Amino acid sequence: MNNRTNEIIACTALTEGTYCGAELHKGKTYGPVNLPLCTLHAAQHFTFYTQTYRNNVLGELEKAGTVSHTPGLTYVIELPNSRIKIGTTRDAGTLVTRWKSISREYQAEGHEGFIEPLAVLEGGASLEASLHNRFRHLRIDDEFGEQFRAEPELTDYALAEGIPAHLNDAVTAYEQWRDQRRSKRKLSKALEAAFTWNA
Ligand SMILES: [Zn+2]
């Protein structure tokens, strides 16, 4: 026996009158009010919260022309799982770092590809929220990471916005890193195959 028997250890989300019962997201309760939710239900809750409160408020302010965006950059990228991510970061330096780390996260989960930049816009968290609101009907609610379906409505918008010239160096730095890593992976796969063949 231990003294933690009162802890809730399973997801208490109700679906059609039945408790979910799945393992808790990251093994603990979720959010500021400690909801006992599994990863799927925590992701759905997070999506509902951001769409209903944060993004909606900022989207309305922008429509009314009463918001000038917070400093920073907002990027639109295609993820290795073919979904779209709209995210924000401080500047050109952190932009490249972020793109690399997202690519690495997906590769750690077994994806082959890299993120592909589609657009970068001037404006930080408030612009990001405004775009999340604008494309909310494309949002995927079963995963964290604020992902969107790659519908032409969103990809055409992103490609039309494009990447401003002053960020060309940042994009080139990312692409060089990507290409190097890609050829390293090809080489190690080839070596692996050769060794398997000889074994
Ligand atoms: Zn659940």
Cα 9 to ligand 1 centre (Å): 11
**Choice between 191 and 181, residue whose per-residue pLDDT is larger:** 181
Question: Both tokens of residue 137?
Answer: 């009907």
For the chain, what is the radius of gyration of the CA atoms? Answer: 21
- Kindly report the average pLDDT of the chain as a whole number: 87
Cα 146 to ligand 1 centre (Å): 19
Cα 125 to ligand 1 centre (Å): 29
- CA distance between the termini of the chain: 51
| 61 close to 123: Cβ distance less than 8 angstroms | no
Which residue type, as a one-letter code, is found at position 143? E
Cα 33 to ligand 1 centre (Å): 16
Cα 44 to ligand 1 centre (Å): 10
Cα 21 to ligand 1 centre (Å): 6
Distance CA 50, CA 57 (A): 10
Where would I find the beta strands (DSSP E) of the chain? 14-15, 18-19, 73-78, 84-89, 116-122, 147-148
**pLDDT over 70 percentage in the chain:** 93
Residues bordering ligand 1, an ion, CB closer than 5 Å: 11, 13, 20, 22, 38, 41
Q: Would you tell me how many other CB atoms lie within 10 Å of the CB of residue 163?
A: 18
User: pLDDT digits over 59-96, tens only?
Assistant: 777 777 766 788 999 999 999 999 999 999 999 999 99
* Mean of pLDDT values over 109-124: 93
Which pLDDT does position 4 carry in this prediction?
A: 46
Q: Lowest-pLDDT range, 113-117, 138-142, 155-159, 168-172?
A: 138-142
| 80 close to 112: Cβ distance less than 8 angstroms | yes
Cα 66 to ligand 1 centre (Å): 39
User: pLDDT digits over 121-142, tens only?
Assistant: 999 988 998 899 899 999 997 7
Q: Would you say how long the chain is, in residues? A: 199
Cα 154 to ligand 1 centre (Å): 30
Cα 70 to ligand 1 centre (Å): 35
Distance CA 121, CA 62 (A): 15
